């Protein structure tokens, strides 16, 4: 019985085979008296946590505070959930005339000519502003760094004209993973263009929900487009850009039509050209990339 579906009828049948007369109603009553009820699985087990998890949280908090106190920019980055583009059902409800819900497709099969939308976001902790690039190709390290580059060009540089360094907080995996050579080589290019050192602190594995961008930007974007079919890339961009909060959050969004091929390998010789300075504490999670040229021009 441990490996079967434990319905009251099944239990009743098993009891009868053992010589006990018990209807399924009697089984239900007995189980109720014993404190049993139908329950779904509860997601509460996070798995084994890294022994330095809390220490890394404290380290990130300290670095963020130091940057914000001195007026230096701190951004949180991540990829939002990929979305199918088209007249598909979108969770939530919106106000419409009674009895006139918006009609959407029954099945969620990707429409080839529309594809998917890949929103990669940048949240500026100091100014409560966000930038989202909506990609149409692949979620790669090139795409991630290009989004940061566009944020700096269209928002960051204007809001932080006296910046002397940039701090990025990111997850440990994905397109901005701590082990990706491409992520670091692309950041080197960006540091050269900005003429600023770029520091990065990664959250420990399995703790992405603590990244500020999740609950200060992405959650509000989801609320803003709830119940609204994402019928085109243009609609997605407009819905993201119209996201506002009472706390003053402002968001800008643009479509990124560029191609970002997967599977790019960074040769060892190229990676050795990255001026990577690991921190004394967990240099694999915390490091700084310094500009290597003096001729680069700000973008």
Angstrom distance (rounded) from CA 63 to CA 201: 9
> Is residue 95 packed enough to be buried (19+ CB in 10 Å), middle (13-18) or exposed (0-12)?
exposed
Q: Locate tokens 């970002």: which residue?
A: 260
Phi, psi of 118 (to 5 degrees): -120, 95
> E strands of the chain, at which residues?
74-79, 83-84, 116-124, 129-135, 166-170, 198-202, 250-256, 276-278, 286-289
Pick the closest to residue 80 from 259, 222, 293 (CA basis): 222
Sequence-distant (≥ 6) Cβ neighbours of residue 108 within 8 angstroms: 84, 88, 89
pLDDT at residue 2 in the model? 64
Give me the average pLDDT of each 10-residue run along the chain (299 residues). 72 89 90 85 67 94 96 97 94 83 90 96 98 98 98 97 97 95 98 97 91 95 94 97 95 98 95 96 97 58
pLDDT at residue 50 in the model? 80
Architecture of domain 53-91+110-289: 2-Layer Sandwich (3.30)
pLDDT at residue 298 in the model? 41
pLDDT at residue 10 in the model? 85
Angstrom distance (rounded) from CA 38 to CA 140: 43
- Domain ranges for the chain: 1-36, 53-91+110-289
pLDDT at residue 253 in the model? 98
pTM for the model: 0.82
Phi, psi of 272 (to 5 degrees): -65, -15
Angstrom distance (rounded) from CA 52 to CA 116: 37
């Amino acid at each position: 019985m441990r490996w079967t579906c434990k319905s009251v009828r099944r239990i009743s049948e098993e009891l009868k085979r053992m010589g006990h007369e018990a209807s399924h109603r009697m089984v239900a009553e007995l189980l109720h008296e014993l404190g049993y009820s139908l329950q779904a699985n509860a997601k509460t087990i996070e798995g084994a946590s890294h022994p330095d998890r809390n220490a890394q949280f404290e380290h990130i908090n300290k670095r963020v505070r130091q940057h914000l106190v001195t007026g230096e920019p701190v951004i949180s980055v991540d990829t939002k959930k990929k979305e199918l583009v088209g007249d598909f059902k979108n969770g939530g409800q919106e106000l419409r005339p009674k009895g006139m819900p918006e009609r959407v497709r029954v099945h969620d099969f990707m429409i080839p000519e529309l594809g998917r939308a890949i929103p990669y976001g940048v949240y500026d902790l100091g100014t409560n502003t966000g930038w989202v690039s909506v990609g149409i190709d692949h979620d790669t390290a090139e795409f991630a760094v290009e989004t940061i580059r566009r944020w700096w060009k269209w928002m960051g540089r204007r809001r932080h004209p006296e910046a002397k360094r940039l701090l990025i907080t990111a997850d440990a995996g994905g397109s901005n993973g701590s082990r990706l050579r491409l992520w670091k080589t692309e950041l080197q290019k960006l540091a050269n263009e900005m003429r600023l050192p770029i520091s990065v602190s990664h959250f420990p594995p399995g703790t992405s929900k603590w990244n500020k961008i999740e609950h200060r930007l992405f959650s509000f974007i989801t609320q803003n487009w709830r119940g609204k079919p994402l019928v085109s890339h243009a609609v997605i961009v407009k819905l993201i850009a119209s996201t506002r909060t009472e706390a003053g959050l402002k968001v800008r969004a643009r479509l990124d039509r560029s191609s970002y091929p997967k599977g790019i390998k960074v040769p060892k010789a190229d990676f050795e050209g990255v001026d990577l300075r690991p921190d004394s504490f967990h240099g694999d999670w915390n490091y700084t990339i310094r500009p290597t040229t003096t001729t680069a021009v700000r973008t």
